[in-house]
Amino acid sequence: MKKKINTLTQKGTKKPLLKKISHINLEGQIHDLKSNLNIIKRQLKQGVNREKIVKEKLQGEVNQGADREKQSANREKIAEEQLHIRTKAMESTFDGIFIIDALKPDFKIIYANPSFYRLTGFSMNEVIGKNYFLLYGDIENTHTYEEIKKILLQGKSFQGEMVRLKKNGEKFWSLLRITLVRDNNGIVTHYVGNKTDTTLMKERNIEIEEQREELLHVTRVGKLAEFVSSLAHEISQPLTAILSYAQAAQRMYKGREPQLQEILQYIINDDQRASEVIRRLRYLLKKTKPTFEQLDINVLINDTITLILPHITTKNKAIKFESGKDMPAFQGDRIQLQQVLLNLISNSLEAMESNKDSQEMMVRTLLENAETIKVEVIDSGCGIPPKNMEKLFSHFFTNKPDGLGMGLSISRSIVEAHGGRLDAKNNPDRGATFYFTLPIQIKEKA
């Protein structure tokens, strides 16, 4: 022990020992040793007998008791474990983490975790010691980077989402957050960056947006087609009557009144011309045939709710989905059935809108029987006035100021094309339930 202290106090041997200790990361030990050394040095300078001091020092330490030594060893062990866990955590997180030296002006990266390398595609050599804002070497983002630097230099943290390129040119969405680390005097010593790959989330959002657009488009086209079809029907009826009257008159006056005959012929010709226009218009907007595929009703409803959920939440309402267990797969047109569901859900939402007490609507799936799936959309809105019950599903019937009166009639024709039926009833307490059935096997229409 005496020998060891001697060597320690000798210049030149101090450094290697310290280095070795720091290498194994035992900061506490280094600190203890350093302070011991300082005491010893001071006492040596004061000219006190070296051996005595050493003895006293050692004796003092021994006298402080074995317990204390044990305690300090324990603390060190715990600290060491903590440090180990924190390091491991940093290294295993999905987020890319990097640390920038803030005391120097060139934003040098002094640490990056493995996820950072994985996310960016850079190797350690390309990152450590490099200016973070020059890492990508692109001019494209200079403006953004200048903004970030400005924010950081103002002592604020930064958060933003951007498209980044990996080293291999692959695009990814990066959520970048940079926070400041200060020392005890409040000086910013480091910037800690956190890079999250939000590509999947972004893509999912874009996908949802696209689906919503597609559905809206189909709904609009569907509405137009249905509108034209109904209009065509309404106009065809009087055209039928006009043609029949004219042909009847022609027969009644056959061989007589040539001028009248001529007029009647003009009426017939123009009637047929108008019919032809309608026929062509209808052909132009011919409804696309449903494309049937194997569907799971619960998945379909979940997807649809995802699409309309933002709309429901902005209206401060909630939607609950009670999915029936073991619902069998069925054949159906995904887009068309989503259209039906969206229509029913948004109708319910509108029925509930004026009433602050009605907060929640529910979609429920169940098996009506072994061959039939039943879907219910239950709201707690204003319900359906009995006088409207009959007309509810007919074209052009609406009680909304800006409604076309097509939604429910289109929905019904879609459900019927699937071999099911769509109907409505008022709930015993309040609100209404719209429900439709879907056969698991579509029967050929007789």
Partner 1 sequence: MGTFVHFLLLIRSNKRNIMSSNIFILDDDESVCRALKTLLMTYDFVVKTFNSAQNFFDNVAVNDPGCLLLDIHMPRLDGWEVQKRILSSGSSRPIIFISAEKQDNATERALKVGAVGFLQKPVNAQTLVDLINSSVK
| Residues lying near partner 1 in the complex (CB under 8 A) | 229, 232-233, 236-245, 247-248, 251-252, 254-256, 271-272, 275, 279, 282, 394, 445-446
Q: Residue 320 and residue 251: Cα distance in Å, rounded? A: 66
**Side chain identity at 321, as an amino acid letter?**
F
Task: Give the number of C-alpha atoms closer than 13 A to the C-alpha of residue 309, restricted to the C-beta side.
Answer: 12
Give the contacts of 171 (CB within 8 A, at least 6 positions apart): 163, 164, 165, 199
Strand order across the 96-101 sheet:
109-112, 96-101, 188-197, 171-182, 158-165
**Nearer Cβ to partner 1 (253/306):** 253
**Nearer Cβ to partner 1 (246/308):** 246
Q: Residue 129 and residue 126: Cα distance in Å, rounded? A: 8
**Nearer Cβ to partner 1 (156/233):** 233
**Nearer Cβ to partner 1 (204/286):** 286
Q: Residue 107 and residue 127: Cα distance in Å, rounded? A: 11
To the nearest whole angstrom, how small is the minimum distance from the Cβ of residue 406 to partner 1? 16
**Nearer Cβ to partner 1 (271/379):** 271
Only one residue has tokens 């060891």, namely 4
**Nearer Cβ to partner 1 (342/410):** 410
* End-to-end Cα spacing for the chain: 105
CB 122 within 8 A of CB 167: yes
Q: Residue 199 and residue 172: Cα distance in Å, rounded? A: 6
To the nearest whole angstrom, how small is the minimum distance from the Cβ of residue 167 to partner 1? 57
Q: Residue 317 and residue 142: Cα distance in Å, rounded? A: 44
Burial class of residue 294 in the structure, from the number of CB atoms within 10 Å of its CB (0-12 exposed, 13-18 middle, 19+ buried):
exposed
- Which tokens belong to 196? 């999250």
To the nearest whole angstrom, how small is the minimum distance from the Cβ of residue 282 to partner 1? 7
To the nearest whole angstrom, how small is the minimum distance from the Cβ of residue 360 to partner 1? 34
Residue 255: C-alpha distances to residues 114, 242, 260, 262 (Å): 100, 21, 11, 11
To the nearest whole angstrom, how small is the minimum distance from the Cβ of residue 274 to partner 1? 9
To the nearest whole angstrom, how small is the minimum distance from the Cβ of residue 260 to partner 1? 14
**Nearer Cβ to partner 1 (251/356):** 251
Q: Residue 446 and residue 442: Cα distance in Å, rounded? A: 12
To the nearest whole angstrom, how small is the minimum distance from the Cβ of residue 236 to partner 1? 3
To the nearest whole angstrom, how small is the minimum distance from the Cβ of residue 343 to partner 1? 21
φ, ψ of residue 310 to 5 degrees: the values are -55, -40
Q: Residue 344 and residue 348: Cα distance in Å, rounded? A: 6
Give the contacts of 437 (CB within 8 A, at least 6 positions apart): 368, 372, 373, 374, 375, 415, 420, 421
Q: Residue 274 and residue 232: Cα distance in Å, rounded? A: 10
Question: How remote is the C-alpha of 181 from its chain's centroid?
Answer: 31
To the nearest whole angstrom, how small is the minimum distance from the Cβ of residue 369 to partner 1? 22
To the nearest whole angstrom, how small is the minimum distance from the Cβ of residue 284 to partner 1? 13
**Nearer Cβ to partner 1 (245/321):** 245
**Nearer Cβ to partner 1 (237/313):** 237
Only one residue has tokens 């039939």, namely 372
User: Pairing relation of β-strands 188-197 and 171-182?
Assistant: antiparallel
Only one residue has tokens 């007998």, namely 49
Q: 368 has which bridge partners?
A: none
**Nearer Cβ to partner 1 (33/274):** 274
- Which tokens belong to 158? 């930064």
**Nearer Cβ to partner 1 (1/446):** 446
**Nearer Cβ to partner 1 (298/437):** 437
To the nearest whole angstrom, how small is the minimum distance from the Cβ of residue 395 to partner 1? 10
To the nearest whole angstrom, how small is the minimum distance from the Cβ of residue 276 to partner 1? 10
